[in-house]
Amino acid sequence: MKKLFGILILGLFLSGCATSGFNPFGSVQNPINNNRLAEIESTYGIALSAAVAYRNTRLCKKNEQASVTNICAYRSVILKLQAADRNVQTALKNARKFIRENPTLDAFSVISVAQQALGGFQAIQAEYGVR
């Protein structure tokens, strides 16, 4: 009975707040979003730096094999990295836009999408030894 009474009081208080325009929970910017996004962007920046170095390496000729003593970059790997980069860029743009337009909301879902896209990029790097 006491619990029900407490819930009723809380409900009355909150509905009163809604009509009066006072929000007891405030409108606080979600700092976690910025930090999470910065961590993903920074991790991506490091991966991207390695990819750019790979891109700027001499291209392997047709049928040429890259090795420790014969350093060259495979065209096919660069094309894969370029495609994966476009995915990450789209996901990051969406995450940045969401956070800018919704500073108080939790951006978990858009940040997760960006994280997954980053995972895809890093998987290509790991598969082809781009570091």
Partner 1 sequence: MDALAIINLIATVIKTAVDLTPAIIKTAEDAAPFAQAIYNSLIKGEKVTKEDLEALEARITELSNQLQKPLPPEED
Backbone angles phi, psi at 59, to 5 degrees: -75, 140
Classify 59 as helix, strand or coil: strand
Smallest separation (angstroms) from partner 1 to the CB of 22 = 27
Shorter beta-carbon distance to partner 1: residue 7 or 131: 131
First to last CA, the chain: 64
Contacts to partner 1 by CB under 8 A: 31, 34-35, 37-39, 41-46, 48-53, 55-57, 59, 61-62, 71, 75, 78-79, 81-82, 85-86, 89, 92, 96, 131
Smallest separation (angstroms) from partner 1 to the CB of 40 = 10
Classify 102 as helix, strand or coil: coil
Shorter beta-carbon distance to partner 1: residue 18 or 46: 46
Shorter beta-carbon distance to partner 1: residue 55 or 94: 55
10 vs 5: CA distance, rounded Å: 9
Helices and strands (DSSP H and E) totals, the chain: 4, 0
